[in-house]
Amino acid sequence: QVQLVESGGGLVQAGGSLRLSCAASGRTFSTYTMGWFRQAPGKERDFVSAIRWSDISTYYADSVQGRFTISRDKAKNTVYLQMNSLKPEDTAVYYCAARSTYGSRLVRDYDYWGQGTRVTVSS
């Protein structure tokens, strides 16, 4: 079993930055992919970014490419999402997720989910 706990959400003005954290526990993550997804009110949950624990290959949605950066700290079993140049359309609940194999952008491919952290970007 894997437990994921997100933190770092909040209210920020457009153009500002936030860093989300996802602390993982319960398993060894050497083969895992960790992902970030987001869900805006009334919309489906969408892929944001993912990182492979083993070789730190990274993946980004087109909408955040160049503004968001995903990274991980092996010693802390923590994944980060640095979000810069935030826009009002980035407003959503952000979820951390994990799957035991190679990277995927699909919600259905992830086995474990955190409870989410809310990000609100004001214009």
Whether the Cβ atoms of residue 87 and residue 14 lie closer than 8 Å to each other? yes
Q: Yes or no: say if 93 and 8 are a contact pair by the CB < 8 Å rule.
A: no
Q: Output the CA–CA distances (angstroms, integers) from residue 14 to 40, 66, 86, in the order listed.
A: 16, 16, 5
How much is the average pLDDT of 66-76?
94
Mean pLDDT (the chain, rounded): 94
pLDDT at residue 51, rounded to an integer = 95
Output the pLDDT for position 53.
Answer: 84
Instruction: Please check the confidence at residue 31 and state whether its pLDDT lies above 90.
Output: no
Average pLDDT over residues 7-17: 98
Which residues is 117 bridged to in the sheet?
94
Distance in angstroms (rounded) separating the CA atoms of residues 41 and 22? 22
In the structure encoding, which two tokens stand for residue 98, read together?
Answer: 């994990």
pLDDT class for 56, splitting at 50, 70, 90?
confident
Output the pLDDT for position 61: 98
Averaged pLDDT, 71-85: 94
Q: What is the pLDDT of residue 1?
A: 81
Q: What percent of the chain has pLDDT over 70?
A: 97
Predicted pLDDT at 30: 67
Q: Which residues, other chains included, contact 120 with Cβ-Cβ below 8 Å and sequence gap of 6+?
A: 10, 11, 12, 91
Do 79 and 19 form a contact (C-beta atoms < 8 A)? Answer: no
Question: pLDDT (tens digit, 9 = 90+) per residue, 84-120?
Answer: 999 999 999 999 999 988 889 999 999 999 999 999 9
b/e burial code for range 59-80 (CB count within 10 A of at least 16 → b) = bbbeebeeebbbebeeeebbbb
